Amino acid sequence: MGGLEREIIIGVNSDIDDDHHVLMIDYDDRLSYETLKLEIVSLQERFNLGKAWIIETSYKHYSVFFFEDIFNYWRCLEIIHSTSSDPKFKRARMIYPYMTIRISKKRNKQIPKLLEILPSKNAKCMNDKQNIFMNEVLKCLK
């Protein structure tokens, strides 16, 4: 291949079945960690969201998974567009009818790791598909 090495990068898509999506938001390096947490708490209150799993995908780059929260795609878009998330992530939502978040190492970046699970007064029970999705994501992380 002319000396080019290919790298396998793993990402997960939000759709778990017919127009049902796990809410996932990519913040990249848009906010400090403390500001990110404040925004997440505000989202939890405003949109009645459950617990939030904060992933550091690379140094000071964050993604947030709301595994307990399943919405149709348009509701996900509404929530995402109310955030300070990565503008490229927002634009891609207008092209692709799902969200994708990287959960594996990429080039010289670290293996993504779970930093924190923010509690919520709106915590919910997850169905089997949500549990499987969450477990598959979490086992890829550091």
Which of 33-42, 57-66, 97-106 has the lowest average pLDDT? Answer: 97-106
Share of the chain above pLDDT 70, in %: 96
Which residues in 104-138 are b (16+ Cβ under 10 Å) and which e?
Answer: bbbeeeeebeeeeebebeeebebeeebeebbeebe
Q: CA–CA distance from 13 to each of 1, 22, 38 (Å)? A: 29, 9, 25
* Contacts with 42 (C-beta within 8 Å, 6 or more apart), sequence order: none
Q: pLDDT tens-digit profile of 86-128?
A: 999 888 878 888 888 888 888 887 889 999 999 999 989 998 9
pLDDT value at residue 2: 56
Model confidence at 48, pLDDT cuts 50, 70, 90, reads very high
**10 Å Cβ neighbour count for 140?**
16
pLDDT value at residue 16: 85
The helix/strand/coil state of 76 is: helix
Dihedrals φ, ψ of 104, to 5°? -125, 170
